[in-house]
Chain A
Amino acid sequence: MKKWMSLVAVITAFSIVAVACGDDDDVAQVDCDAGQTDGDLAFYNWSEYMDPELIAAFQEEAGVTVTEDFYPSNEEMFGRVEAGGSGYDMIIPSDYMVSILISEEMIQPVSEAAVPNKSNVSERFANPPYDPGAVYTAAYQWGTTGIGVDTGVTGEDVPHTWGLLFDEAVADQYGLSGRISILDDPRETMGAALKYLGYSLNSTSKSELAEAEKVVADAVDRVAAFDSDQYSELIVLGETVVGHGYSGNFLWDFEEGDSTYDYFVPDEGGTIWVDNMAVLSDAPHPCTAFTFMNFLLDAENGAQLTNYNWYASPNAAAEEFIDQEVLDNPIIYPTDMSKLEFIEDTGDFEIEYTDALSRARS
């Protein structure tokens, strides 16, 4: 090949890449009016988390089309949007991920004028530690991470302990070996092991994390799968007996099973989390996104969401429209909040959790 030809090709290729990766670092505060739209909405959300009827209603009301894509973990969502130019408008990051997104200037402040319904958010969620003053986000739903059990197999008297996942004696007693699934999520999985050992799930102590790593490593041979998508389906299908996962998903799938099931946060304590609506700094259609945020914060729409996905609503005004059986369900609205802990951004230590989980499985 002629030399100049390859040179031209190299230069062309690099300029294409350079344009595609071009950094738009200037974060502009967008001002939108209530109900204003500026194009179709690209919505990046957790799977099985949004009522399709709400999407349909918004499309009708705002006269735009909504495209929804799904992610299984905060980290995967982050990986997808961090390079910029993802094309997504709105995302639903959890608490600690919000801190990271704010410090990376990847989400923009909420345009207050476009989201009057923000005042519906209950006081408890109006000034969260991960986003003081809720400047960048509005709470979407909240719930807990715990253990789902097929009590048809184990009997009703299973101990409420993380030992169901990690303790060999407990596994032997209830015939759990090879019938356990654990979340494939560094913070949740290592966090569960830390809680089992009596530590904080936000521990930044290397020795505590090393102990937790050993707990997970010892459990690997009894685990069927590390899974963040199908933990509840696996129980209902009879492939697993206990699963580590999120409250609402278990409730959802347990409805369809033939056995009897239970979900609980172990007595050692577990995770409480809040997922939040946020608009990306490089969102192509920020005004549509804020209008959608306002739509979801409406009292009746917020109630419809909770009645649909069975996660608790942070929307105080929505409460009167939420089904009584949902409000009375202690799994959805836990009565004892004292043993629940938020996952917090541990900064530099974050990667230690990921590496610990990798090592535990090696």
Chain B
Amino acid sequence: MDVVVEPGLEHQAERARSRHGFLMGLPTMIYLFVFFVVPLGFVVMYSFATRTRTGRTELAGWNVEAYERLGETVVRAVAFRSLWIAAVTTILSLALAYPLAYFISTRRPATRNMLLVGVMIPFWSNFLIRTYAWRVLLDSDGIFTRIMSGMGLGDGRILFTNNAVILGLVYGYLPFMVLPLYAAIERIDWSLVEGARDLYASGWSAFRRVVWPLSKPGVIAGSILVFVPSFGAYVTPAILGGNKKGLMGSYIVDQFMDARNGPLGSSLSVLVLVVMLMGTLIYFRQGGRSL
């Protein structure tokens, strides 16, 4: 029996598939467009607009004044403090998450799933509520404070300090570090490690030369997922840090709420966006597509 393959048929089928895919994705694309792309366009537009005497943003007299102000010392100080806090949060999260992810991915599948559910349990309650719970733990009578002072670490009260902010951020974003790390480590072909050991690599150098490079996409993905929200964090510094040392999130909110300076608030938002975009680009550059 002769099978005549019409060259156009396969092509048609492919086009139909692509069309179906497009139609199925359309609602989401419209949603993202209306509620994400358009508002973002407004932010960019506002950043070039004019602030009136009373704090209204007028879409006229386009200028770059709001961007010039990004060079002021106050913006630099706020940006560097935010970067520093985000960096410390990321490093601490990585240090805590890596051993845990390693541990989980080397368990049996059933145990693994249970442990993963455990990592995700905090998500079952609201972030704001969990942050307020930390405030209770950290206040003068709090359990945390008592344990710390019991261990002879001063009066043990860290509420309303940067340490409390970092603690809150690490707590809040740790799962975002654990999950991609787990995904990366779990995928590692362990025979490669065996091979390394067979070739007389010590445990440490097997880790350093085999496991670590293979888990790097997870490290980078997790670091971005923790770094980006930490950089713009607003709730945690306000509740646990006493909102006193300016951070990017609260500085932007102040521009919109108190100063009613829409253009500056918008140009700051664009700045944050660029920083985050750069982070993401680095991620893709590093070939971290395997998330």
In residues 186-234 of chain A, which contact B (Cβ within 8 Å)?
A: 186, 220, 223-227
- Total chain B interface residues with beta-carbon distance under 8 A: 36
Interface string of A1-34 (1 = CB under 8 A from B): 1000000010001101100000000000000000
Interface string of B25-47 (1 = CB under 8 A from A): 00001100110001000100000
Q: Does any Cβ of B come within 8 Å of A157's Cβ? A: no
B242 and A1 form a contact (CB under 8 A): no
Write the chain A residue with the least CB distance to B81: A362
| Chain A: interface size category | 35 or more
Q: Does any Cβ of A come within 8 Å of B261's Cβ? A: yes
Interface string of A69-102 (1 = CB under 8 A from B): 0000101101100100000000000000000100
- Interface secondary structure of A, over-half rule: helix
B254 and A225 form a contact (CB under 8 A): no
A226 and B242 form a contact (CB under 8 A): yes
A347 and B53 form a contact (CB under 8 A): yes
Write the chain B residue with the least CB distance to A12: B34
| Complex contacts, B251 vs chain A, CB 8 Å | 358
A362 and B73 form a contact (CB under 8 A): yes
| Complex contacts, A238 vs chain B, CB 8 Å | 140-141
Q: Kindly provide the distance from the CB of A163 to the nearest chain B CB, expressed in whole angstroms.
A: 19
A354 and B245 form a contact (CB under 8 A): no
| Complex contacts, B42 vs chain A, CB 8 Å | 17
Q: Kindly provide the distance from the CB of A221 to the nearest chain B CB, expressed in whole angstroms.
A: 9
A9 and B260 form a contact (CB under 8 A): no
| Complex contacts, B74 vs chain A, CB 8 Å | 355, 358-359, 362
In residues 320-362 of chain A, which contact B (Cβ within 8 Å)?
A: 347-348, 350-351, 354-355, 357-359, 361-362
Q: Does any Cβ of A come within 8 Å of B246's Cβ? A: yes
B243 and A184 form a contact (CB under 8 A): yes
Contact partner, A358, options B38, B254, B256, Cβ 8 Å: B254
| Complex contacts, B260 vs chain A, CB 8 Å | 75, 78-79, 82, 351
| Complex contacts, B244 vs chain A, CB 8 Å | 220, 223-226, 361
A16 and B34 form a contact (CB under 8 A): yes
Contact partner, A362, options B33, B34, B242, B246, Cβ 8 Å: B246
The answer for the CA separation of A357 and B250 in the assembled complex, in Å, is 13
Q: Kindly provide the distance from the CB of B49 to the nearest chain A CB, expressed in whole angstroms.
A: 14
A227 and B242 form a contact (CB under 8 A): yes
**Beyond A13-B38, A354-B254, A362-B73, is A225–B242 a contact (Cβ under 8 Å)?**
yes
B159 and A239 form a contact (CB under 8 A): yes
Interface string of B227-253 (1 = CB under 8 A from A): 000000000000000111110000100
Contact partner, B257, options A14, A16, A75, A362, Cβ 8 Å: A75
| Complex contacts, A227 vs chain B, CB 8 Å | 242-243
Interface string of B152-185 (1 = CB under 8 A from A): 0000010110000000000000000000000000
A9 and B33 form a contact (CB under 8 A): yes
Write the chain B residue with the least CB distance to A76: B257
B140 and A239 form a contact (CB under 8 A): yes
B139 and A351 form a contact (CB under 8 A): no
Q: Kindly provide the distance from the CB of B160 to the nearest chain A CB, expressed in whole angstroms.
A: 4
Q: Does any Cβ of B come within 8 Å of A256's Cβ? A: no
Q: Does any Cβ of A come within 8 Å of B195's Cβ? A: no
The answer for the CA separation of A224 and B164 in the assembled complex, in Å, is 12
| Complex contacts, A82 vs chain B, CB 8 Å | 55-56, 260
**Beyond A1-B22, A223-B244, A358-B74, is A9–B30 a contact (Cβ under 8 Å)?**
yes
A186 and B258 form a contact (CB under 8 A): yes
Q: Does any Cβ of A come within 8 Å of B143's Cβ? A: no
Task: Please provide the 7 A-B residue pairs with the shortest distance between their CB atoms, ordered closest to farther.
Answer: A225-B242, A354-B259, A362-B77, A362-B74, A224-B160, A75-B258, A361-B246
Would you list 30 pairs from A and B whose C-beta atoms are within 8 A, ordered by A residue?
A: A1-B29, A9-B34, A14-B38, A75-B257, A75-B258, A78-B55, A100-B54, A104-B56, A181-B242, A186-B258, A186-B259, A220-B244, A223-B242, A224-B159, A225-B243, A225-B244, A226-B242, A226-B243, A238-B141, A239-B139, A239-B140, A350-B55, A354-B258, A354-B261, A357-B258, A358-B74, A361-B244, A361-B245, A362-B73, A362-B246
Please name 11 further chain A to chain B contacts, defined as beta carbons within 8 Å, in addition to the given A9-B30, A223-B244, A224-B159, sorted by A numbering.
A17-B38, A75-B258, A78-B55, A220-B245, A223-B242, A226-B243, A237-B139, A351-B51, A358-B251, A359-B73, A359-B74
